[in-house]
Amino acid sequence: MSDAPAVGELTPPDRTLMGPGPSDVHPRVLRAMSTPLVGHLDPSFIEIMNEVQELLRYTFRTDNQWTIPVSGTGSAAMEAAIGNVVEPGDTMLVPTNGYFGGRMASMAERAGGEVVKVDAPWGEPLAVDDVEAAVREHEPDVFGFVHAETSTGVRQPDVPELTEVAHEHGAYVIADCVTSLGGVELRVDEWDIDVAYAGPQKCLSCPPGASPLTLNDRAMEKVLSREEEARSWYLDISLLEGYWGEERAYHHTAPITNVYAMREALRLVAEEGIEARWQRHRDVAGALKAGVEAMGLEMNAPDEYWLPSLNAVRVPDGVEDEAVISYLLEQYDLEIAGGLGALSGDIWRIGCMGYSARPKNVSYLLAALGDALDSQGADVDVDAGLAAMSGALR
């Protein structure tokens, strides 16, 4: 046997997180995470669960009884949504306009569903007419779309029109709101979304580990009347109902610390007010956008479907995307990311989410990005960028 490994104290670097997630965590959330554990069936924890559910309903803008944090990352909430709503033999319509539509397709297939697609290029939203044509052609049981495509920086507009078209043809609607919840206007009830899921580590500024999910009664009826059990025991909503519903009986041990974190993160949302929070994201990310544009860079998404929480900026000719990313990390302890899939090498993805959506963060980011681009010999006007950003923040 080898000797005990000599592993030193944990001292992670002090990064500023402006990538596609996680975002910087609010100090109050970190403090909540260092409070003592109680049991996951302790009466005090049941009270905390109720509070988290109430706060999640507020944040999703829904009255859905069935609103919970799923144990696991955003993909767990995503798989709970798709794996329970899609039954073997069901058809699910998914989008092709980004990375996460592809993940929806894989999950629907694993659930025994047949996948059909509605096309739009990466970097563009779905058009209502195209969704209508696809729904007419395929008569899907379920339609999934991504409200905030983290891979492209595109916000899906016209959500009420999309849900109407799907409902006219009897399809349930699942919305991926991982990068919108708590940062970008989202109205689950008013927009008639049947199922929505999200991630904690984006606009809620909460570490990954428990992820929001909400289902309306109509979707819940489908889930509870399935002929075949959901393929995942862990994410079977009919079983999770025992813990998060009336009974509060053991299913699995809840990630208590993550539930504490979410409670505090959602309390911050409620204190700020959800609409004010959406506005803050628009204002602060708007200043960032004004800055990069005045420098001479181009946003990947036009203004009509720009996503404030994820700013996709086109890499100018002659500049190496990775060199800029590394420079920012090494020189400034600042994290941004490159493009994925069809946009790999073409864009930088700059998050402006939750606690990271602050004037302090965007000023730092823009100054550092200007320096990184200068160091690469890029033809950018850094001073003009900084002036435009300051002007927009004023």
Ligand X SMILES: Cc1ncc(COP(=O)(O)O)c(C=O)c1O
**Residues forming the site for ligand X (CB under 6 A):** 20-21, 73-75, 78, 100, 146, 150, 176, 178-179, 199, 208
Residue nearest to ligand X (CB): 74
Any idea what DSSP says for residue 299? B
Q: How far is CA 50 from the centre of its chain?
A: 23
Nearer to ligand X, 107 or 223 (CB): 107
Which sign does the torsion angle of CA 67, 72, 75, 80 carry?
negative
Q: Which amino acid is at 378?
A: A
Smallest separation, CB 152 to ligand X (Å): 10
Smallest separation, CB 70 to ligand X (Å): 11
Nearer to ligand X, 56 or 388 (CB): 56
Nearer to ligand X, 78 or 365 (CB): 78
Nearer to ligand X, 83 or 291 (CB): 83
Nearer to ligand X, 79 or 264 (CB): 79
Smallest separation, CB 266 to ligand X (Å): 17
Smallest separation, CB 377 to ligand X (Å): 32
Spatial CA neighbour of 314 closest among 378, 362, 390 = 378
Helix (H) / strand (E) containing 72: strand 66-72
SS3 (DSSP) at 9 = coil
Smallest separation, CB 93 to ligand X (Å): 17
Whole-angstrom distance, CA of residue 297 vs CA of residue 131: 32
For residue 97, give both structure tokens: 């306009």
Smallest separation, CB 316 to ligand X (Å): 25
CB 182 within 8 A of CB 211: no
Smallest separation, CB 20 to ligand X (Å): 6
CB 141 within 8 A of CB 175: no
How do beta strands 172-176 and 195-197 pair? parallel
Q: What are phi and psi of 308, to 5 degrees?
A: -60, -35
Whole-angstrom distance, CA of residue 349 vs CA of residue 372: 15
Smallest separation, CB 155 to ligand X (Å): 11
Smallest separation, CB 17 to ligand X (Å): 13
Whole-angstrom distance, CA of residue 91 vs CA of residue 98: 20
Nearer to ligand X, 295 or 337 (CB): 337
Whole-angstrom distance, CA of residue 165 vs CA of residue 315: 37
How many residues would you count in the chain? Answer: 394
Nearer to ligand X, 245 or 305 (CB): 305
Nearer to ligand X, 347 or 373 (CB): 347
Spatial CA neighbour of 199 closest among 16, 23, 338 = 23
What region, left, alpha or beta, does residue 197 occupy, with left being phi > 0 and alpha being psi -120 to 50 degrees?
beta
Whole-angstrom distance, CA of residue 111 vs CA of residue 15: 38
Nearer to ligand X, 76 or 373 (CB): 76
